[in-house]
Structure formats: C-alpha cells, structure tokens
C-alpha cells in the first residue's frame, strides 16, 4: 500500500473510533449510591431522574442514560455516563458515592 492509502485508512479508523466511543469521552455504566432508602411513596425514580438531569441537561438524556433504579434496600441508580459526568454527580450533596460498574467472575464452581 502506498502512503496515501495508509493515511486514509488510519484517518477512517480514528473517525470510527470517535463515533463509537463518543467525542466527549467513553460512556460506561456507573452505580450512583444515595444511601438508605429515602422515600416510600414511589418517587425514588423521580429523584434519580432529577439528579441525572442536573448533570446531563435534559430529561430525555437522563431517561436514555438510566440503566436501572435501585429502590429496594437502598436508594441509587445505574446510568451510562462519562467519567466527567460521574465526577460532577459525585459532587452533588445527595450523592454518597459513584462507582464504576464492574463484573466479578466466579473463582470457583464449589462452595
């Protein structure tokens, strides 16, 4: 291959990577922990949406980002957000901890 073709292929690879990962950073699922269950009237999910909207800027973006709302046992939610957005969420007074979602593999087949 000549250098023009190699340059073109490299540019296409970079552009495709940016489109897949998002230009503003890669989004990953994070768990946002708000502490013990705070409400019993069914409005936990509205609180989760409100917090995420304050960082993302719109209800629509918040609805797209929320993966799961934890409402039994503790209050929190999982959302697909960037590291910068996770940092901004962690600075909110209602938020106790923001953790990246991790997969744990079983170490044994016997217990």
Max avg pLDDT among 18-27, 30-39, 86-95: 86-95
The pair phi, psi for residue 68, each rounded to 5°, is -160, 145
Rounded to whole angstroms, the Cα distance separating 71 from 45 reads 8
Residue 35 contacts residue 95 (beta carbons within 8 Å): no
Does 17 reside within a domain? no
Q: The domain containing residue 90 runs over which residues? A: 24-100
Rounded to whole angstroms, the Cα distance separating 62 from 52 reads 6
In a 3-state reduction of DSSP, which class is residue 100?
A: strand
Does 38 reside within a domain? yes
Does 64 reside within a domain? yes
Rounded to whole angstroms, the Cα distance separating 71 from 40 reads 9
Predicted TM-score (pTM) of this structure? 0.67
**Tens-digit pLDDT profile for residues 66-106:** 999 887 888 889 999 999 999 999 999 989 999 898 877 87
Number of structural domains (the chain) is 1
Does 11 reside within a domain? no
**Tens-digit pLDDT profile for residues 43-73:** 778 888 999 999 999 999 999 999 998 878 8
CATH number assigned to the domain comprising residue 58: 3.30.70.80
């Amino acid at each position: 291959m000549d250098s023009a073709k190699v340059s073109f292929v490299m540019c296409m690879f970079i552009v495709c990577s940016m489109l897949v990962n998002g230009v503003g950073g890669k989004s990953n699922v994070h768990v946002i922990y708000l502490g013990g269950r705070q409400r019993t009237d069914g409005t936990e999910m509205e609180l989760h949406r409100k917090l995420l909207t304050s960082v993302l800027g719109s209800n629509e973006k918040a609805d797209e980002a929320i993966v799961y709302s934890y409402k039994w046992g503790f209050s929190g939610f999982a959302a697909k957000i960037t590291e910068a957005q996770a940092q901004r969420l962690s600075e909110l007074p209602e938020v106790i901890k923001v953790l990246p979602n991790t997969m744990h593999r079983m170490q044994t087949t016997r217990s």
